[in-house]
Structure 1
Amino acid sequence: MDAIDRANGLLQLYTELTLAELPVGAEVFDAHTHLGEDIDGMVGDRDELLAIQRAYGISRSFVFCLDEPDRRPCFTAANDRTIAHAGAASAELLPFVRLDLDESPVEEATRCLDLGARGIKLHPRAQRFLPDDPRLEPVFALAAERRVPILIHGGRGLPPIANSLARLLDRHAPPALIVAHAGIVDLAAMARNFAGRPGVFFDTSVWSPLDLLDLYRLVPPEQVVYASDYPYGRQPNSLLMAVRTARACGFDDAQVRALLHDTAAGIADGLEPPAPGAPQGPTELSHPVTFLRIHQYLTMASAMLWLRHSSDTYGVVGLAINACDERSNGHREQTEQIRELLVATRELWDLASQTEDDADRRRAQRGAFRLVHLASVLAVTHAA
């Protein structure tokens, strides 16, 4: 319990720090959240999501189901649950219909849009298709006709998709296309095709702050929307990473407000997309080696926690803690903050290794993952 209490205390401390770093009175719109139960065991709970949103000033969010065990046929049952969840909090949750191209996608999309869905969610990795699949043509045509946005997975697990997605968009342009996870699957080509193109947006739901720094230098601020990817992405990590990386790239208060709320709110309300300006952000970073070492070890630790290793068999958290102890780098205060997070991480991971109950062990591992991620965000953004 000491380890859990210490971790919760740190998360509360960073909640307060994160809220203090937002522009005064800033609203937040989360463009990427899930409710339901995924086949990988992850659960998105409506009451938890609403509590998080209210605690962090998140006024609205786009919400869709996970890759549910009862997804067949057509994601019908899961989509119905999403619409029901949104109906119970209609001012806060805006439902999207999730589609499987193998199972009547246009019919299911039409049914859910008629029931109040506000957009379409596509996941080419989970549902095993690519943007050059001819079955996508009528889906994009329907979105263009009904004037609803599409959000498409653009993260891990795919081959390059930017060029084929651009060709599809040339034929059928919905009012907004949101490429999830900053388009990291194909970011350079995404930027070549879409930077400066009105109506195409990228959401910030990634693990690494380095991905956001690269996104901001390639894509105009007007084309970026904040997203957490709840329940995979958590607070305060998600907001802190988005804001700190934006500030590191020179975003002013108006640009941060747009990233956090105004651009996504415009998509939700059917407004004309803003005219994109120019990307901003450095093409190179000068970073203290100490922070680079810490980030390297924490990337290793994160992968192990994500894969549910029962313990830190390689000792990478210990290596990161030792890197924090270097005293001549001129960043002692910052490395002490990171060290505090990592000591709590090690305690939680040790607790997980001693816990027999599967659910309790997973909770401890996920808590350790959140602390590792916070430490990694600090390691990248303190100096940036």
Structure 2
Amino acid sequence: MSRLGDDIVAIDFHTHVQRSARTGTTGAAEDNAEAMAAYFRTEARTPTVHDLADTYRAQNMMCVAFTIDAGWKTGEEPSVTSDEIIELAAEHSDVVIPFATVDPHGGRRAAREVRRLAEKGARGVKFHPSAQEFSPDDRAVYPVYEAIAETGIIALFHSGHTGAGAGTRGGGGIRLKYGNPMLVDDVAVDFPDIPIVLAHPSFPWQDEALSVALHKPNVHIDLSGWSPKYFPANLVQYARTLLKDKMLFGTDYPVLTAERWLRDFEGLGFDEDVRRRILRDNAARLLGLAE
């Protein structure tokens, strides 16, 4: 179990493990990393859990780490398993907070997997509706949510636009419609005790995301995947005010680094109280790490 050290200055709620530390396997992750790096004009990286631990420990930060199982759509296995992430995160419990991935099309089989991985140490489950090609409000996925509710872990949903597949023929088969955060509203209604996080500024549905987070007590927003200098004005305003306790620092590493995100975040002029909430305190409370 991860613990919040006195020296921790921030918790990055959104980082990707893209390579197995045990087999070196990247699968399609290497090609995806190169495409995403080109899209975001950054360096291509395929970090292991050990790499994440080294990177974030050096910055006195913790990070939520996961991979994505999109095998139902792509036919490919994730480059690293949830089991490996959980097991290696235990070696770096001062830094790495493991989340799991499951196939949302898996029904009760996937629900059993959620229970198993939660018992093993997963603190949440990451969903990418566009990449995994499912609608979050599809009742066929409800057995998975039931397992999440039973185990008391977090559900993290990609929302909005995605760099995955951007600019490629047919968008790489990615259907953006599944990223509408309003599709998560039913989940928040029917599973009011699941802590839910909408990942990323939700372009082009930012108002929908703000509305759901404002209306549903269990819904939060992580600010990953965009440099803060590109945040829409309404997101910044709500982060300063009505949703200041529900906004979470996140980078989408390795797409963005914490250094780049924080440098651009400083330009928004948040006061120290709100800055501390967004960078550390809100995530610590949500993850049960608060002192």
What corresponds to 2:264 in structure 1? 241
Q: Is the 8 A contact 1:33 1:64 kept in 2?
A: yes
1:183-194 paired onto structure 2 within 5 Å: 183-194=202-213
1:163 and 2:182 equivalent?
yes
- The gaps in structure 1 that reach 5 residues or longer are 1-24, 272-384
1:175-324 paired onto structure 2 within 5 Å: 175-195=194-214, 197-208=216-227, 209-211=229-231, 213-219=233-239, 220-245=243-268, 247=269, 251-269=270-288
Letter in 1 for 2:278: L
TM-superposed CA distance for 1:124, in Å, is 0.7
RMSD: 2.7
TM-superposed CA distance for 1:185, in Å, is 4.5
- Greater Cα offset, 214-223 or 127-136: 214-223
- Greater Cα offset, 147-156 or 67-76: 67-76
**Moved segments of 4+, more than 6 Å:** 68-74
Greater relative contact order (Cα < 8 A, sep 6+)? 2
Q: In structure 2, what is the Cα distance between the partners aligned to 1:203 and 1:148?
A: 16
Give the one of 83, 86, 89 matched to 1:86.
Answer: 89
Q: In structure 2, what is the Cα distance between the partners aligned to 1:74 and 1:101?
A: 14
Report the number of matched residues.
242
TM-superposed CA distance for 1:229, in Å, is 1.0
Q: In structure 1, what is the Cα distance between the partners aligned to 2:70 and 2:212?
A: 33
Q: Is the 8 A contact 1:95 1:118 kept in 2?
A: yes
What corresponds to 1:350 in structure 2? none
TM-score calculated relative to the size of structure 2: 0.74
Give the one of 133, 143, 149 matched to 2:138.
Answer: 133
Q: Is the 8 A contact 2:70 2:76 kept in 1?
A: no
**CA 1:78–1:174 in structure 2 vs 1: closer, same or farther (change >3 Å)?**
farther
Q: In structure 2, what is the Cα distance between the partners aligned to 1:94 and 1:133?
A: 28
Q: In structure 1, what is the Cα distance between the partners aligned to 2:144 and 2:71?
A: 24
TM-superposed CA distance for 1:146, in Å, is 1.6
Deviations 1:54-92 (A, max 9, x none): 23221x221112458899788696111111221211221
Decide which structure has greater helix share: 1
TM-score calculated relative to the size of structure 1: 0.57
1:86-105 paired onto structure 2 within 5 Å: 86-103=89-106, 104-105=109-110
Which structure has the larger Rg?
A: 1
Deviations 1:241-267 (A, max 9, x none): 23332x2xxx32111001000000111
Letter in 2 for 1:156: H
TM-superposed CA distance for 1:40, in Å, is 4.2
Q: In structure 2, what is the Cα distance between the partners aligned to 1:76 and 1:176?
A: 27
Q: In structure 1, what is the Cα distance between the partners aligned to 2:289 and 2:51?
A: 28
Percent of residue pairs identical: 24
Q: In structure 2, what is the Cα distance between the partners aligned to 1:137 and 1:68?
A: 18
Letter in 2 for 1:27: V
**CA 1:260–1:124 in structure 2 vs 1: closer, same or farther (change >3 Å)?**
same
TM-superposed CA distance for 1:173, in Å, is 2.3
What corresponds to 2:156 in structure 1? 151
TM-superposed CA distance for 1:181, in Å, is 0.9
- The gaps in structure 2 that reach 5 residues or longer are 1-6, 20-25, 34-45, 163-175
Letter in 2 for 1:192: S
